[in-house]
Amino acid sequence: MKTLLYTLATLIALLALLSGLLMMSIPSGSLLHLNPSVLKETPFNDFTIPGLILFIVGAINITAVFFSMIKHPKQYSLFIFGGIACIAWIVFFMMILNTSVWFDVYCIVMGLLIVLISLHLKGKSLI
């Protein structure tokens, strides 16, 4: 279970950190083949702020992985926070863009798995 948790959190972290950096470095979105017109009905003029938010989601998840490596007592709480941050980010952007793609569902499932596995390893139950 721990290996799956570390793998999911690391994957989310690396994707979010890299994508966030690329979005902030070229805010037009062209580097990631993002169409800036999708932001027309949103509070964002370009991909700088969404990239920053995505980068923060990645930073939370990579911090959780680091905390687990040093066996920090709050490691599972940070994994839970990272999973919730991932889900919240995706749901927020699905709502403001009024669209979704298969990757959104994939990220929500990964975030949910991170939360559920973390709760299990922390000794908590949802029921």
pLDDT band at residue 109, thresholds of 50, 70 and 90?
A: very high
Position 76 in a domain: yes
Position 74 in a domain: yes
pLDDT band at residue 99, thresholds of 50, 70 and 90?
A: confident
pLDDT of residue 49 exceeding 90: yes
* Full domain range(s) for residue 104: 2-122
pLDDT of residue 52 exceeding 90: yes
Query: Tens digits of per-residue pLDDT, 58-77?
Result: 999 999 999 999 999 999 99
Buried b (16+ CB within 10 A) or exposed e, 19-45: bbbbbbebbebeeeebeeebbeeeebe
Report how many domains make up the chain: 1
Average pLDDT, rounded, for the chain: 93
Position 127 in a domain: no
Position 80 in a domain: yes
**Residue-level pLDDT at 101:** 83
Determine the Cα–Cα distance for residues 74 and 91; give it in Å rounded to an integer.
Answer: 26
Phi, psi of 41, rounded to the nearest 5 degrees: -95, 15
* Percentage of the chain lying above the pLDDT 90 cut: 85
Position 15 in a domain: yes
Position 42 in a domain: yes
**Residue-level pLDDT at 100:** 79
Query: Tens digits of per-residue pLDDT, 9-45?
Result: 999 999 999 999 999 999 999 999 999 999 998 999 9
